Amino acid sequence: MNYQLFAVFLVGFAARLDRGLAAIGDRYAFERILPEPRVCIHDGCLQGKYFNGLDGDRYEGYLGIPFAKPPVGKLRFKNPVRNDPWEGDYDATWERSRCLQKNDIRPLQTVQGSEDCLYLNVFRPKNVTGPLPVIFFIHGGAFAAGSSSMGEFGPERFMDTGKVILVIPQYRLGVFGFLSTEDRASPGNYGLKDQLFALRWTQRNIAHFSGDPNLVTIVGQSAGSSSVQYHMVSPQSKGLFARAVSMSGSALGSRYYSVDQLALARRQAGAVGISNASSLSTERLVDALREVDGLELAKSIDKLKYFYVHPILRWHPTIERYVDGETFISEDPREVWRSGRYHQVPYTMGFLPNDGAYTSAILLSNSSLLNELNEKSADYIPRLVAVNHPTSVRMLKKRFFPDGSNDHWLTEKNVGNLETMLSEGQIIYGVVLGAKQILALNNRTAPLSVYYFNFRGPYSQSYYNSYTQGDFGVSHADELLYLFRASELFPDFKVGSPAWYMAKLFVEYLVYIAYNGVAGLPCTADSCPLLEFTNSDDASRPVKLNLIDGFDEEKFAFWSNLYAVQNSVKT
């Protein structure tokens, strides 16, 4: 007999019986309203709020907690500074502004947010009785957009498990997060250093939320996925996490390492009308940029594009040339990774079939953009995957657009290959490269597992990439819809539907990783089975799990050869 269910039944039955017999006191049988949750941390006390889960129980939310001083005024283009403590209770019942940004991943966007944005949200199940593992989630958005908003990253599914604490920070984006002059005037990587500050905050404070600081799992998607790898290679992040999960993103892609950062900083200054931007000293250049209105600085990103919104990844992490005690990246991450000198913790990587949809969906669904791209296809298309070496350009055309002319690569027959090229070149190659380099190590001490998310549900993030209902398959960031409740983007899944089951399964998959390190069969030097999540025709088992025997070696070989040529000669 299930004694827990029986006990619940007895309590309910007794309550009904009591209501039926008791006449005295009924007039005072008011609804019990518990006080809102409250937690005290090193900086002071927090007044949180109860929220309703999806399965009926409530959870605690502490929103907009500061983990650094607002990076405004003289602190713009500076490493984060620890915030001051406060007296009294801090109101952690409402979300603060997202970081200042122009989200070019979605069409027709305007500038949003504030520079005062270094806040994080913490969620924990109600009535936590012991230290729980912590999931520290880093949002994506091409290092240019995104936030910790509950409307996109609702914690309900994780909270309904009652098994983990969830921390979601914000970090500076775009020029505010990644301006670099390649010297001490502006070393760069402020967005990554903000994440680092949030991780340190978690280590100092998470025990007060009944979280286990020794069981922190960093999870990131897209740019957040790349961020996870940057933390794995940075000496600054050592010891701050015990597991890691990278979802559809890599820090090993060539597009991070082919930019003259100082030249870009001067172009940025020119875009906002700073005089003599090309000849100012770097100190005066950065001082002048600090004086520019934040809204104008964010809007000026449009002047730094060569086609439509490209490159979307205009500002991003860099190798810091000026090295001091706060330097985040001083050595090429690709070499650190390849040599096995990263933080070897249990690691999970994953990707989707159409991981390039955040770029390709709007192009394929907008004929005027597609024709504009085709008019300069020999120049523009290779740049979308960080290629400009003549031999690499020819390799790219031959593989994906063989029937196009040298002046107009795209045809009705091959235009769909643009989607494939972008998925492989922008996301999947870097993921597979990272996994293969781990498996080639002789000094590997931690397990690796890889998943392939191939489940099609009723909604797709590709709608917000194109504002059409076009069928782009399983698209970049679709897996997030099964981890987080995205109430501002899509309706909830129907209870009992295949998507509802998929969400239950995928959340449990991440929770299992938080407890145990990896889930599924770990990779070995000889074999790396991919755990595939996909649809099932069996109504009694609406989600199917398959094991795929390794990666597509022919695709990997093509991209390896292409980038070997691309990187062989500086152009």
* Residue 80 sits in the same domain as residue 213: yes
286 & 422 share domain: no
Amino acid identity of residue 488, one-letter, is: E
Q: Which pLDDT belongs to residue 29?
A: 55
CA atoms within 13 A on the CB side of 86: 17
Residue pLDDT, tens place only, 432-469: 999 999 999 998 999 999 999 999 999 999 999 999 98
Single-letter amino acid, residue 66: P
Give the end of a domain, one of 345, 364, 390. 345
Q: Pairing between strand 119-125 and 165-169? A: antiparallel
Q: Residue 36 domain-assigned?
A: no
Mean pLDDT over 16-43 rounds to 63
- Within-domain flag for 93: yes
User: Helix and strand tally (H, E) in the chain?
Assistant: 18, 16
> Do the beta carbons of residue 147 and residue 118 sit within 8 Å?
no
28 pLDDT band, cuts 50/70/90, is low
Q: How many domains does the chain have?
A: 2
Same domain, 267 and 368: no
Which pLDDT does position 109 carry in this prediction?
Answer: 87
pLDDT over 50 (residue 129): yes
Residue 382: what pLDDT? 96
- The pLDDT of residue 124: 97
- Band the pLDDT of 539: cuts 50, 70, 90: confident
Domain assignment present for residue 40? The answer is: no
- Segment 532-559 shows an average pLDDT of 95
User: Do 314 and 450 share a domain, yes or no?
Assistant: no
Q: Are 511 and 164 spatial neighbours (Cβ–Cβ below 8 Å)?
A: yes
pLDDT band at residue 375 using 50, 70 and 90 as cut-offs: very high
Model pLDDT, residue 27? 59
pLDDT tens by residue, 470-513:
899 999 999 999 999 999 999 999 999 999 999 999 999 999 99
What is the pLDDT confidence band of residue 5, given thresholds at 50, 70 and 90? very low
Is position 513 within any domain? yes
Catalytic residue among 147, 148, 186, 222: 222
Beta pairing class for 529-535 and 543-549: antiparallel
pLDDT (average), residues 138-159: 97
Q: Is the pLDDT of residue 14 over 60?
A: no
Name residue 91's amino acid. Answer: D
Whether residue 372 lies inside any domain: the answer is yes
For 111-128, the pLDDT digits (tens) are 999 999 999 999 999 989
Residue 482 shares a structural domain with residue 387: yes
User: What is the pLDDT at residue 24?
Assistant: 56
pLDDT band at 258 (very low <50, low <70, confident <90, very high): confident
User: How buried is 181 (Cβ within 10 angstroms: 0-12 exposed, 13-18 middle, 19+ buried)?
Assistant: buried
Residue-level pLDDT at 32? 54
For the sheet with 38-41, list strands across it.
Answer: 38-41, 44-47, 89-91
Q: What is the mean pLDDT of the chain?
A: 92
Output the domain CATH number for residue 422. Answer: 3.40.50.1820
Which pLDDT band, with edges at 50, 70 and 90, does 520 fall under? confident
130 band by pLDDT with thresholds 50, 70 and 90: confident
- At residue 220, the 3 state secondary structure works out as strand
Instruction: Tell whether 561 is covered by a domain.
Output: yes
Considering the domain architecture, whether residues 93 and 168 belong to the same structural domain is answered as yes
Are 198 and 237 within one domain?
Answer: yes
Q: Report, as an integer, the average pLDDT of 137-141.
A: 97
pLDDT band of residue 22 (cuts 50, 70, 90) is very low
Q: Residue 101: inside a domain, yes or no?
A: yes
Q: Are residues 311 and 420 in the same domain?
A: no
Of residues 28 and 273, the one with the higher pLDDT is 273
Total residue count of the chain as it appears in this document: 571
At 480 the pLDDT is 98
Residues 368 and 487 in one domain: yes
Which of 14-23, 439-448, 457-466, 554-563 bottoms out in mean pLDDT, i.e. has the lowest?
Answer: 14-23
pLDDT, average across residues 253-270: 91
Per-residue pLDDT averaged across 174-198, rounded?
97
Question: Looking at the structure, do residues 334 and 368 belong to the same domain, yes or no?
Answer: no
Distance, in Å, from the CA atom of 253 to the CA atom of 559, rounded to the nearest integer, reads: 11
Residue in 32, 17, 51, 176 with CA at minimum distance from that of residue 102:
176
Residues 198 and 145 both lie in one domain: yes
Q: What is the mean pLDDT of residues 242-249?
A: 98
Helices assigned H by DSSP within 94-183: 156-161, 174-178
Write down the pLDDT at residue 7.
32
Q: Which of 304, 329, 345 is the last residue of a domain?
A: 345
In the predicted model, is pLDDT for residue 81 greater than 50? Answer: yes
Of the chain, the percentage scoring pLDDT greater than 90 comes to: 88
Q: Which domain holds residue 235?
A: 57-345
* Per-residue pLDDT tens digits for 83-103: 999 999 999 999 999 999 999
Q: Catalytic: 147?
A: no
Q: Tell me whether residue 45 is in a domain.
A: no
Same domain, 356 and 306: no
Work out whether the CA dihedral 324, 292, 315, 390 comes out positive or negative. Answer: negative
Last residue of a domain, one of 297, 330, 345: 345
